[in-house]
Amino acid sequence: MSFNFTNLARLLIDDPRVAKLRALIVDRIQPSFKKGLPADIIAKGKSILRQLNKSQQRAVLRTLMANDYSLLKGFPGTGKTSTIVALVQLMLALGYSVLLTSYTHSAVDNILLKLKSCEVDFLRLGKTSRIHPDIKEYSDERLTSVFRDVKSLADFYDDKLVVATTCLGTNHVLFSRRIFDFCIVDEASQVLQPAVLGPLFQAHRFVLVGDPQQLPPLIQSSEARDLGMGESLFARLDSLGATSCLTQQYRMNGHIMKLANLLMYDGQLQCANSALETATITLPNYTNEECTTTFPGWIKRAASSNLENSVVFLDTCGCAPEDQNSNVSAKEASLILVLIISFLKAGLNIDDIGVITPYRDQVKYLRNLITKNVTNGSRVEVNTVDQYQGRDKSVILYSCVRSATSKPKNGDILQDEHRLNVAITRAKYKLILIGDISTLQNYKPFKTLISLFMESSQVYTLRDGIDGFHWSDFNPYCN
Ligand SMILES: Nc1ncnc2c1ncn2[C@@H]1O[C@H](COP(=O)(O)OP(=O)(O)OP(=O)(O)O)[C@@H](O)[C@H]1O
């Protein structure tokens, strides 16, 4: 909190660089861009730019032409991370110093892992214990332990062209002596405005990377939310003049992408190639006798690798009533367990399965259930949407939990279309939602989504005695 207050106070300082920042972000003066590209950008960046698609190339070049700032909006799976990596390489080739930041440690390290594989040198600030094991060798705590005098320490901090840390990590002593040519902020649509100021004070130009349609800053206080605290600087500065947009995605097949387009992207999200459009999961044992004879009809349909079954809604039809005050659904959890066991039997790799649920209590319950009943079950990643941002799995199973409540609870997480958007866009080839449709239709984002499932006949009702489904089969897994 004191970091945020300090940043707000710094924004009032009487200094030309801070005055410019104030004009850009408080008065929202439009950013300006150089008219042409310096010839050396193309010459020096040819091999780097070749790895990018056209819109990524345009975004990178526009960032380099910015006099003040630019925004890079990347829909899910459109290669924001890959674009940032290319941008850093190009900035280095042009001799610029770069401050690379993000909201979370994992997002910072995600980029650094890729930079490391491209043999780019950098310095990672922050507690070594919070840093990814493969990045620890770049940690300043480790690297500076050998210095015995102030001069060598100062030289070391001054020399590194790429310095990386979280937004909150920009209170490090290094920042009292350095201003970078560029600052890149990843996950910028998730950062509180006062927190994002920290890195921005430390650079002449900045680029914010994010997607305001994914997770916004997390605000606990409803009063603060109502007063606008949830607006990120990315959302505040997003404009046609400032923003480059990445719309070609490399993650989801066409059916899953269609859901995201309906819910959030208004048809703008596109598959990067036709192979991706029709990609499905591979289940090598699905047609073996062990599966064909033991899988009841409802599992055969839900787990099928047919393209048209890429998105499936399993409607519990109000038969899984739960305590209205609880955020756990034992019945949905047992359905998920049975689906996981079936996918594994059909030959899916355990690391390709992900489970998402909006509620932490359900995460805990599911982890316990899966670890107890599946060999190596701890390898099935079960998490809330927030923990899944930035990553994907071939198959995503989503447990909605709420059931038997006729009216949506005020402020219920299920009303949050951004969270639902992130959840569905984690799936590459198969997405199974499990929930009670009559309850979920009371939540606006679900209502929109369910209409598409219905339109494509991908809602399967789970009723006792139909399609080999019996609730009693799940009793052993429900306490
Ligand atoms: N130009 C490209 N050509 C081929 N593959 C690409 C290209 N750009 C990105 N990819 C691939 O697309 C996938 C998604 O990229 P990345 O993780 O950078 O997306 P993202 O925008 O950060 O996703 P999210 O918003 O969900 O965090 C990766 O497997 C990456 O290798």
Q: What was the ipTM of the complex prediction?
A: 0.95
Give the span between the Cα atoms of 285 and 65, in whole angstroms. Answer: 53
Nearest in space to 81 (alpha carbons), one of 258, 262, 275, 251: 251
**How many angstroms is it from 193 CA to the middle of ligand 1?**
26
Q: Give the 3-state secondary structure of residue 44.
A: helix
Cα 161 to averaged position of ligand 1 atoms, centre (Å): 25
Closest residue by Cα to atom 15, ligand 1, is: 79
Cβ of 57 closer than 6 Å to ligand 1, yes or no, is no
Q: Is the CB of 79 under 6 A from ligand 1?
A: yes
- CA–CA dist 380, 215 (Å, integer): 23
Task: Tell me if residue 233 falls in helix, strand or coil.
Answer: helix
For atom 2 of ligand 1, which residue has the closest CA?
A: 52
CA–CA separation, 436 vs 456, rounded Å?
18
Atom of ligand 1 nearest to the CA of 214: 25
Distance between CA 448 and CA 432 in Å, rounded?
Answer: 16
Atom index in ligand 1 nearest the CA of residue 426 equals: 26
Length of the chain in terms of residues written? 479
**Secondary structure of residue 285 in the 3-state scheme:** coil
From the CA of 279, how far away is ligand 1's center (Å)?
16
Going by C-beta distance under 8 Å and a sequence separation of 6 or more, which residues neighbour residue 48? 86, 89, 90, 93
CA-CA distance, 108 to 129, in Å (whole number)?
14
Tokens of 331: 């019945």
Alpha-carbon Rg for the chain in angstroms: 24
What is the Å distance from ligand 1's center to 426 Cα? Answer: 12
CA distances from 220 to 223, 230, 245 (A): 9, 10, 30
**Spatial CA neighbour of 68 closest among 19, 17, 109, 32:** 32
Ligand 1 binding pocket includes 92 (Cβ within 6 Å): no
Element (H, E) at 396: strand 393-399
Task: Check if 445 has its Cβ closer than 6 Å to any atom of ligand 1.
Answer: no
Q: Going by C-beta distance under 8 Å and a sequence separation of 6 or more, which residues neighbour residue 345? A: 285, 290, 291, 294
Nearest-atom index, ligand 1, CA of 52: 1
- What values do phi and psi take at 6, rounded to 5? -60, -45
pLDDT value of position 438 = 87
- Let me know: does 242 contact 435? Beta carbons within 8 Å: no
> In one letter, which amino acid is 251?
R
User: Comparing C-alpha atoms, which of 146, 122, 463, 136 is closest to residue 317?
Assistant: 463
**pLDDT tens per residue across span 31-90:** 999 988 777 787 888 889 999 999 999 999 999 999 999 999 999 999 999 999 999 999
Q: Are strands 69-74 and 459-461 parallel, antiparallel or unpaired?
A: unpaired
> Ligand 1 pocket, 56 CB below 6 A?
yes
CB-ligand 1 contact for 52 (6 Å cutoff): yes
Q: Which amino acid is at 471?
A: W
This prediction has a pTM of 0.89
- If you measure from the C-alpha of residue 374 to the centroid of ligand 1, how many angstroms do you get, rounded to a whole number? 31
DSSP state of 468: T
**pLDDT value of position 85:** 97
Token pair for 211: 């997607």
306: left (phi over 0), alpha (psi -120 to 50) or beta: beta
Task: Kindly state the DSSP code that residue 263 receives in the 8-state scheme.
Answer: I
Per-position DSSP letters for 246-266, written without gaps between them: E-EESSS-HHHHHHHIIIIIT
Strands (E), 295-350: 311-315
Q: Which of 58, 72, 75, 82 to mutate to test the pocket of ligand 1 (most atoms within 8 A of CB)?
A: 82
**Weakly modelled stretches of the chain, pLDDT under 50:** none
82 ligand 1 Cβ < 6 A: yes
Pick the atom of ligand 1 nearest to 79's CA: 18
* Beta carbon of 393 within 6 Å of any ligand 1 atom: no
| Whole-number Å distance between alpha carbons of 85 and 211 | 17
Report residue 357 as tokens.
Answer: 């649920």
Secondary element (H or E) of residue 461: strand 459-461
Mapped onto helix, strand or coil, the DSSP state of residue 305 is coil
* Ligand 1 atom 12, closest CA: 250
210 lines ligand 1 (CB under 6 A): no
Alpha-carbon distance 75 to 69, whole Å?
A: 20
Is the separation of the CB atoms in 310 and 454 below 8 Å?
no
| Cβ of 76 less than 6 Å from ligand 1 | yes
Give Cβ neighbours of residue 388 (< 8 Å, ≥ 6 apart). Answer: 354, 356, 422, 423, 426
